[in-house]
Amino acid sequence: MFCKKCGSILIPKRENDKTFLECPKCGYKEVAKSIEIKEKKEKKKAKENEIEVVHEEHEAMPVVEATCPKCGNDKAYFFTMQTRAADEPETRFYKCTKCKHTWREYS
């Protein structure tokens, strides 16, 4: 519901046994019709002394054919980033799938 005076969202408020919708900006109030206010609290189970272990590293980048200057592997992850002025081309970065060495290539 929205305020009829200023258009802000009306917030439900409970006074005594009646529920009103009240505007936080201008103070406009109206009686709420068939509104139910519920509180929902989720209880989280305490997991003390538990550590999540990740066994594999998952890369979300595409793999391309590029020769690693460090180990000679022919596959690398590929991503681009704007490292210079906006009118300059993007810088291409490669990360070796074998030794994880990262290098860049300018255009």
List, by residue number, the catalytic residues: 87-88
Q: Is 3 exposed, middle or buried (0-12, 13-18, 19+ CB in 10 A)?
A: buried
What residue has token string 């936080």?
Answer: 24
CB of 69 within 8 A of CB of 76? no
